[in-house]
Amino acid sequence: MSQSTPVLAAHGLTKHFRAGGRRIAGRPPARAIHAVDGVDLELHRGQVLAVVGESGSGKSTVARLLAGLIPITDGRVLLDGAEVRVRGRRAFRAYVRRVQMIFQDPFASINPVHPVRHTLTRALRLHRRQSTGGTLRGAELEEALTELLERVHLTPAERYVDKYPHELSGGQRQRIAIARALAADPEVLLADEPVSMLDVSIRLGILNLLADLRDRLGIAVLYITHDIASARYFADRTTVLYAGQVMETGDSESVTQEPLHPYTRLLVASAPDPDDLAGAGAAAVRDQGTGGEPPSLVDPPPGCRFAPRCPYARDLCRRETPELIEVTPGRSAACWGYSDREDRPEVGRVSTGSTRGGEAGA
* Identity of the residue numbered 215: D
Taking the complex as a whole, how short is the minimal distance between the CB of residue 344 and ligand ATP, in angstroms?
28
Q: How far is the CB of 62 from ligand ATP (least distance, A)?
A: 7
Which among 306, 295, 297 is positioned nearest to 336, based on CA atoms?
A: 306
For the beta carbon of residue 117, count every other beta carbon within 10 angstroms: 16
Question: What's phi and psi for 91, nearest 5 deg?
Answer: -65, -40
Element holding 10 (H helix, E strand): strand 8-18
Coil, strand, or helix at residue 282? helix
Q: How far is the CB of 200 from ligand ATP (least distance, A)?
A: 18
Q: Strand pairing partners for 224? A: 51, 192
Rounded distance, CA 40 to CA 38, Å? 7
Q: Minimum distance between the CB of residue 48 and ligand ATP, rounded to whole angstroms? A: 18
- 58 vs 361, beta carbon nearer ligand ATP: 58
Q: Which is nearer to ligand ATP, 53 or 322 (CB)?
A: 53
Q: Smallest distance, Å, CB 242 to ligand ATP? A: 10
Q: Which amino acid is at 217?
A: L
Task: Name every residue whose Cβ is closer than 8 Å to that of residue 347 and which is 6 or more positions away in sequence.
Answer: 260, 262, 312, 335, 337, 338, 360, 361
Q: In the complex, what is the shortest distance from the CB of residue 70 to ligand ATP, in angstroms, rounded to a whole number?
A: 7
Positions touching ligand ATP (CB under 6 A) are 17, 33, 35, 53, 55-61, 226, 297
Determine how many CB atoms are found less than 10 A away from the CB of residue 293: 9
Reduced to 3 states (helix: H, G, I; strand: E, B; else coil), residue 296 is coil
Beta carbon nearer to ligand ATP, 187 or 193: 193
Q: Residue 225 or 257: which CB sits closer to ligand ATP?
A: 225
- Tell me whether residue 149 or residue 206 sits nearer to ligand ATP (CB atom): 206
**In the chain, what is the greatest distance between 2 CA atoms, to the nearest angstrom?**
72
